[in-house]
Each structure stands twice: as C-alpha cells, then as structure tokens.
Structure 1
C-alpha cells in the first residue's frame, strides 16, 4: 500500500507544507481521500465544488500561498470551474487535482465523461482560464507534473493550474524514487529585480514631476510588497490612487491615499490621476471599471500623462495605455531598490503638506456628505449606515470579504481598509457567491483574526450550503446579508435605462420576497439573526463577533445605488448620450 500513487501524492503534499485541501468526494478521487485519512493535511468537505474553489481562493489570498482543490470529474469539475476562473482572473495561485475517467476506457464514453468532441479530454474545459492543464498519462509522470504545477501556479503572474488524473492511476503503484527526485528541485524561484540606474531614473522622474501619482493594484499584495510601497509613499509624499483590487494596499488612513478610481471612484480622485503628469503604476492591469472604460474624458489621459509601469507579467505592460518606461520585475524587490535609491538621493525625503491637506479635506467632505445616510434611522437601513457600523465594530486587521453589488462597489469607494490584504473581493470575474465561501478560507488561514462576509441576498442565495461546512468545521465567520430583495445593482441599471425591473427583483404574488435566511442558518446548525430595526444592527454584530462561532445576520437594506461620478461605457450602450447611471428601486 505504501507505494500507491494516492498515498505518495499525499506525502508529497505534506512535504510541500500543504495544511488544508478543499473539495468534494466522487468515485474518481476516493483513493486520495482514503490516503488523507492518516495525513496531517485537513480535508475540508464542502457541499458544492464552487464553494470549495472559493474557499481555496480566500485561503490562498489570506495565507499568501498556493491552495489545493480536490475535485471529481465531469459535474464536479464543471461545478468548480466558476470558482477556479474567479481565482484565475484575480491571479490567485491554486492547484486543482481532479479525478478523471479510467485510462483504459478511452473512446467508450464512461460514466460522467465530457466527450462530445474528444475522448479523455475533460481537462480541455479549463484551458481558457488556467495557466496550464495537464492530463496525467502514466503514474511515473505524476510527481514531475505536480512539481511543475506548483511552480507554474506560483511563478510570474500567479494563477490556477489543473492536474487531471485518471482514477486508475491513483490506485496504481509507482517507484517512490520518482517522488523522491522532486525533493531536489527548488521550491522557490528567484524573481527579477531592477538595477540602480533604472531606480534612479524613476525616482528622479517622479521628484522632478509637477503632479506625480502612484497608481497601485492587487499585484502589490500578490508580491507581498505593501510595506515597501508605503515606505516609498511616505518618503516621497506622493499621492496614491488605486484600483478595486488595490484597495487597502496602502492603508486608507495614510494621509496620501486618494482612493479608488474609475466608475465607482469620486470625481476628485479621477481628476487627480487624469491631471497627473507622471504616474508610477504598480501591479495593475488598468481594468475597465477602474479606468472608466478607458475613455480619456473621465480618468486616465495617457500618453498625455506619462506612465512608468512595473509588473511581473510583461503582457500587462502597455496592455491598455502606452508606457514611457516599462519594467518587468517582482514588486517587492523593485520597491526595495527604489526605497534604497530614494533615500540615497533624498536622505530627508520630501514634504508635501499641500497634497496632504487637500486629500484630508476631500475625505472630510465626503464623510460629511455621507453623514445624513450614516445617521439615518430608517428601516430598511441605508447601505452607508451598514458599512459605517461594520467598520466601527471590526478590528483593524479583520478579514472582510465582499461579493457583488453595494458590498463590493460601496466598500471599494467608502469603507476604510487598514491592513493590507485584509479585503478579499472578486475583482476580475465579479462572481456572486465568492464572499461567503472565501471568508471561510480566510478564517481557516488565520483562526485568530475576525472574518466577516459582506454579501447581498442574491449572492448569499447562490450557495447557502457554505453554512454546512461552517457548522461541521466550526469556522466562526459572521455573514452580514445586506438584503435588498433584489439583484440590486442590475435592478438599478434596468430601472434607470429601461423603466422596468423584470427579472431583477425578488417577488412573490407581487410583493417583495426573501427567504428567511436566519431560519435557513438555524436549519444548518448556525445561529441566525434577523434585524428588525436600524438600532439592532450594531449590537447584534458586536455580539456575533464576540460569540466566536458561525453567525448569519440578515439586515434589510434600501436599494439605493452606489453614488458615482465615474463612467462605464455600458451606460452609453443602454442610453446613448443621456448620461444616465442607476436608479433607486425602493
């Protein structure tokens, strides 16, 4: 038994330091599950493969290491696909190990095989979004493929990979020497940095510029370079704007943080990056929503604004805007060099009290403008009040996961994040159902930190079976369901542009409808709280966090749109030349 592929695979994962595997059983992977029974690795059993993938995603983001998913073939693999694609678009390292049809049944269309166009080709389903998909053709090849899989998932622009293993291979024997050989391979690649000459050019350019700005994205977190970035920001006193994925990369209470750009960005922030003469862009791909559909009227005006861009992935440099200086480098190493050179050239740093005062005034004014909503005692609650009270209750380093809607767009715009990497949000794919499961993964990664999932009723309804895993594993996450009885953001769009809300509001017999989420939680063995007044919410959240157990809080919320001064080209597609955004549906 000791030489079975399944047992040697588990030992390999143990030796790589894997502590958790997320997944769901099937007849193709129970050999691996059996091997895990006596392993130090904890198998996290889920009720849906999408939950497993999102949990692994949240775990990888929080832990800053590659997560592992174990899947069945066919429907198991397709169920997991959405979660894996979400990780792919946000550059999250993940190794998906999937059982496959028996290798000796090629061409016979065995049970659950996806084979309308080719035999033994389920791995092809993942090709559009994983960095690579392998199908293991022989037992002796698995060790080398696993080593390559982890290396590829973690190197360059990180992301998921798939290793599809015919189920009979898991149950075969293989010479341990094949796995032993992989121990001699490095587990961490050295990444490129920048030279002093390039660093001096960047620092001199920024300090000689009249209106320089840092523009940062989630790549800074992936590179674990937040500390180095804030050090450079403070030394040079240069304002920082960020993408949605760059939220919290520099803490929001740093005096030089402008905020999020793009459609949900404020006019002041968009104007600052639009008017910049030089921008140093770090770890961002300049995505559409962050850049007002790349239309010069609203956010960025490159090449009038000169761009210096540093990224580990050369395909991201100049993807959407021309750059004056493009540099392929690891951001942590590059920023380390930039800090050293900046201190050599400018030992005392630069003071920019004018910029600091201007930014402080903007944030103060924005807070004042929100005051009416924050202090509103109406019920259903104002979304601004919900976010304000969540922030007041949470410790600085709490994990906050968002989903899609007010809980993502509003959080990006007006919810302060104080600990880099503590906000987990589905950026590229914007997947409903991400947040509730990702919070479980983050809490498993750091059991001593608070984890709260801010999620809409539409998003939570995607996969409430997360509660089964929370109950079974006793993972103390708090879910705050911002319940507007709708797919609220889409309802607001449809109402504003087409005058209807068909298919976007939840109704029963013409009246607003919502499942009793608190009762559903209790059915899973999780505490459920239904808020009935605005005054109840904050004390209920405080109590839920102190309880240190899984809790669902269902709070009714007005479906008012997230305020925005930005632009998204879909508005022009819906209503050409009308400058229409969203409408409230209450």
Structure 2
C-alpha cells in the first residue's frame, strides 16, 4: 500500500456518506464495527449517529426516512447476530423498493474460514453475504482496503439507480482500519450525473395515447412507482385532462388525494366498492408502477377487482420483471413513471387535444358517482357507531380526523392496517406509509422515528397493534434518548388479531 494512502476504510465510508449528504446513520455497536464507529466519531459534526436498541429498528428508521425525504441513509451493525438481526428490515425495504446502505461488520480477513467468534463459515468463509442476498439488490465485500472506495461508489450507484433497493457493504474487521485511499471518490463524478428516468419507446407512447383516447371506460391504477417516482403532479395532470378516474393500490394511496373527485380510493379485496367495480368494468387499464400482488388483485380472482382480459392492460414499470408477471398485457412499457406521463402529456399537446370530456367519459364518470354514493351510504353508519369496544371503522376515521393535513401516519402490520387503508384519506404521497411487500411487524413502531427525523416540523404518528408494539417497545428508549417526539397509537385487541380472524374464517 502506498504511503500516500492516508484514509482508512472506515474513514472512506463515512466521508463518502457525508459527500452524498447523508444526515444520519442508524445502528448498533459491536466488536465487528468499532473501526467504523471510530470514523463516525471523528466526523460527528458532519453526520449524526442514532444508536438504537435492536438492529431491525435501525433498518426501519432508514427505510421510512427515505420514504419521507427521498434521501437514502445508512445503517451500521456488527458481525454475527448483530447483522443477522437486520434481514427483516432489509427484506422490507427490498420488496418495497426503498434504498439504504447496510454497512455490516465481519470477522478479520486473517481469521476467514477458521471458525472465529461469530463467523458464518460452515459453507463458505465469512459468508454473511449469502444470508442476505435474497433481501437486497447486491452485496459487496471488500477484502483489501484499496477495494473500499471502488465498492462504496458502486454500492451507492446500485442502490439508487433503476428500481431502488437496499445494498449491503459487508466489511471485515481489519478493513475498517486498513489504509484505503488518499481521497474519497467524488459522487459528483461517479453517480450524481446518472439518470434512471428512462422514457418509454416513443411508438409505445403513441399506442398508449391511442388506447386511452379510444376507451369508453378507462381507469388509471397507481402503485408505489408513482409515489417514489415523484410523479404525483403528472398523474393529476393526465387524470384531469382526460377525465380518467384513478384507483390506488395500497402502496399508491396518496399519489392522488383520496378526496379528489377522480379518486376511486383503494382497489383490493378490502378496497372501496367504486374502485373495485370500476376496475373490473374498465375496457382499458393504465397501470403505473403497480405489481398486481395478491392484495391489489384480490388474490387474482377473475372479476373481483379486475377482469384482464377482456380488459386491455397498459402496464408501465421501471422494472421489466413486473410487467406481465400476473396479468397479460395489451401494451407493456419499461419506463420511469414520471417520464412516461410527461411523454403522454406531450403527445396530447402534439395532437392538440383539448381535454374536453366526451359523452362516453361523462357517462362513465356519472356511473362511478353512483357507485361512490352506494359505498358512502353503506359505510356511513360505522362512522358514528358508539359501541364499546370502539368499532374499528370509527377508530380509523377518528384518527384520520384528528391528524392535521401535513401529518405523517406510519402504519404497522396487523388487522388495523386494513382499516386505515380503507378509511383514512391521505392527501400527500407520504401521508400514509405502510409496509406493502414483506410485512414485518414492528415496521411502523420503529419507522415513525425515521419519519420524524426526516420531517421534524410535521406531526408523526404510528398506529400499531399490541403485538407489534411489544416486539419493539425498545423504541421508547431511543425516542427519549434522542428527543424524537412521536406518538404511538396502540390498537389493543389483546391478540394477534389478523391471525385470529383468519383462523376463525378459514378453519372454523
């Protein structure tokens, strides 16, 4: 190693995070990451450290911090059981397409394959990467100090480009202190100028516009691709211009304000009548960043939420693996959702489309107004039900009414989650945050602290079941220690309520 290499591996990692404007690292100390912690201490004026009481909490905080701010952060964990506590939150971020950098410690390189304390070695030396490869986009493991700058910049690029997701940087004990480089890579040169906002095939855009303009009963279905892609304004512009109603998957709620006249609300087995009924009658569906998982599709039961075919599906997603995964497409387009919507709006401009509703459009929207009125009449009694214990529907509505317009509600996993999705009225893409893919209990209990750090001036509330709260009640210590003023509303049904309901419904 050259004498000019002045920074060690830990210093390069922390300096790179600072250059990427990372405000916090979340994690827990252990003997495997003391070299990194030393580097963090040296730069404590430039980057904050949040020391939690369970590694999953660190991952959940990093996850929700990104969902609110759009800024990726990092976690730090030690070797063995320390990092083995992280895959739950890694998996949650991976399946919800949320990036954060997980910096995990490992045993010294000189002890690889010797069965050192906390080494995973029975199949391959220092084999923690095999533990997490199913729950992240990529694992990097430098075994020499000089590899740290290369892998650090590659990890960040992998994490933030294409379909975002978490990346693991697994660093052996000695590499944190080994000489690595004379300077840290400059993100402005390596990642800042990379755009993943690819547009759709121009001919495909023309075809999509043709299909939308010729449809008599079109519906737009939105997922997390709209929220994370920052496409809410473009979505609203297209929906209003063509007067197309918008249904939301659970991960798409808030992309259009739920109270907007064109919003149908939640489409899924626990969704609104107007949303499910409109989607199953649609002749053309424009799906934007939607996975069509078992919840959104109501377990793919034909005619429950969708009838594809004969409904013609235009499926747009940044990840081609999701296009046509669960339903056949009339038109599939790999594209960033915001870029695609801008292409569609530009094509409408090119054609001189006025935006005047057609007779078919007026008839379709009038029918939907009727479906909405039926639904509102059906659910209205629950909003004023005074029974005790409180009606869950009433509880969800009262929570929603109590929150100011700029509040952030982070829902945990459990039966309460379904009530919140159905009866809360998010006005922003980040008004209602939940775990939609992996579904780990404790996500909302811990994640709400990440929301508050990302938006310190906004009220942040977690609604969680008693089961989930007990799993991570240690968050109370973290909130007090770091003065993170959040509120937990515990939905106490003295049970794992969703499982109790499933047992009664499925097994009785």
User: TM-score normalised to the size of structure 2?
Assistant: 0.94
Contact 2:278 2:368 in 1 (8 A): no
Structure 1 position 11 matched with structure 2 position 11: no
Contact 1:68 1:97 in 2 (8 A): yes
The equivalent of 1:45 in structure 2 is 51
Structure 1 residues 30 and 220, CA gap change in structure 2 (3 angstroms): same
The equivalent of 1:381 in structure 2 is 390
Within 5 A, what are the aligned runs for 1:488-507? Answer: 488-499=497-508
Q: Deviations over 1:510-557 (max 9, x none)?
A: xxxxxxxxxxxxxxxxxxxxxxxxxxxxxxxxxxxxxxxxxxxxxxxx
C-alpha separation between the residues in 2 aligned to 1:355 and 1:433?
42
C-alpha separation between the residues in 2 aligned to 1:376 and 1:273?
30
Contact 2:273 2:375 in 1 (8 A): no
C-alpha separation between the residues in 2 aligned to 1:398 and 1:360?
29
The equivalent of 2:221 in structure 1 is 215
Structure 1 residues 230 and 83, CA gap change in structure 2 (3 angstroms): same
The equivalent of 1:186 in structure 2 is 191
Cα shift at 1:281: 0.7
Within 5 A, what are the aligned runs for 1:78-93? Answer: 78-93=84-99
Contact 1:209 1:277 in 2 (8 A): yes
More moved, 133-142 vs 349-358: 349-358
Structure 1 position 323 matched with structure 2 position 332: no
Structure 1 residues 346 and 409, CA gap change in structure 2 (3 angstroms): farther
Within 5 A, what are the aligned runs for 1:214-233? Answer: 214-233=220-239
Q: Partner of 1:147: helix, strand, or coil?
A: helix
Contact 2:138 2:167 in 1 (8 A): yes
Contact 2:201 2:333 in 1 (8 A): no
Cα shift at 1:380: 2.1
The equivalent of 2:255 in structure 1 is 249
The equivalent of 2:100 in structure 1 is 94
Q: Deviations over 1:146-174 (max 9, x none)?
A: 11111111111111111100010101122
Structure 1 position 139 matched with structure 2 position 148: no
Structure 1 position 332 matched with structure 2 position 338: yes
The equivalent of 2:67 in structure 1 is 61
C-alpha separation between the residues in 1 aligned to 2:263 and 2:145?
53
The equivalent of 1:305 in structure 2 is 311
C-alpha separation between the residues in 1 aligned to 2:448 and 2:371?
32
Match of 1:293 among 299, 309, 324: 299
Structure 1 position 167 matched with structure 2 position 167: no
Contact 1:257 1:359 in 2 (8 A): no
Structure 1 residues 186 and 408, CA gap change in structure 2 (3 angstroms): same
C-alpha separation between the residues in 2 aligned to 1:354 and 1:257?
17
Structure 1 position 32 matched with structure 2 position 36: yes
Structure 1 position 408 matched with structure 2 position 417: yes
Within 5 A, what are the aligned runs for 1:364-375? Answer: 364-375=373-384
Structure 1 position 452 matched with structure 2 position 461: yes
Q: Which structure 1 residue ranges, 5 or more long, are not aligned?
A: 500-586
C-alpha separation between the residues in 1 aligned to 2:405 and 2:362?
26
Structure 1 residues 151 and 267, CA gap change in structure 2 (3 angstroms): same
Cα shift at 1:8: 2.5
Within 5 A, what are the aligned runs for 1:392-471? Answer: 392-471=401-480
Cα shift at 1:248: 1.2
Structure 1 position 202 matched with structure 2 position 208: yes
User: TM-score normalised to the size of structure 1?
Assistant: 0.82
Q: Deviations over 1:448-491 (max 9, x none)?
A: 11111111111111111111111111111111111111111110
Contact 2:147 2:180 in 1 (8 A): no
C-alpha separation between the residues in 2 aligned to 1:149 and 1:454?
34
Q: Deviations over 1:407-427 (max 9, x none)?
A: 311121121111122221010
How many aligned residue pairs are there?
Answer: 498
C-alpha separation between the residues in 1 aligned to 2:298 and 2:188?
48
Structure 1 residues 107 and 326, CA gap change in structure 2 (3 angstroms): same
After superposition, the CA RMSD in angstroms is 1.8
C-alpha separation between the residues in 1 aligned to 2:344 and 2:186?
39
C-alpha separation between the residues in 2 aligned to 1:385 and 1:83?
31
The equivalent of 1:580 in structure 2 is none
Q: Partner of 2:180: helix, strand, or coil?
A: coil
C-alpha separation between the residues in 2 aligned to 1:440 and 1:182?
28
Q: Deviations over 1:36-74 (max 9, x none)?
A: 124211011100001111111110111112221111111
Q: Partner of 1:28: helix, strand, or coil?
A: helix
Cα shift at 1:274: 1.4
C-alpha separation between the residues in 2 aligned to 1:324 and 1:497?
36
Cα shift at 1:360: 4.3
C-alpha separation between the residues in 1 aligned to 2:79 and 2:192?
29
C-alpha separation between the residues in 2 aligned to 1:205 and 1:347?
14
The equivalent of 1:272 in structure 2 is 278
More moved, 320-329 vs 263-272: 263-272
C-alpha separation between the residues in 2 aligned to 1:163 and 1:114?
16
Contact 1:248 1:421 in 2 (8 A): yes
Cα shift at 1:371: 3.2
Q: Deviations over 1:203-236 (max 9, x none)?
A: 2211211111101101111111111111111111
C-alpha separation between the residues in 2 aligned to 1:21 and 1:454?
25
C-alpha separation between the residues in 1 aligned to 2:300 and 2:311?
13
Q: Deviations over 1:242-298 (max 9, x none)?
A: 211111111101111112222212344222111111111100111111102112131
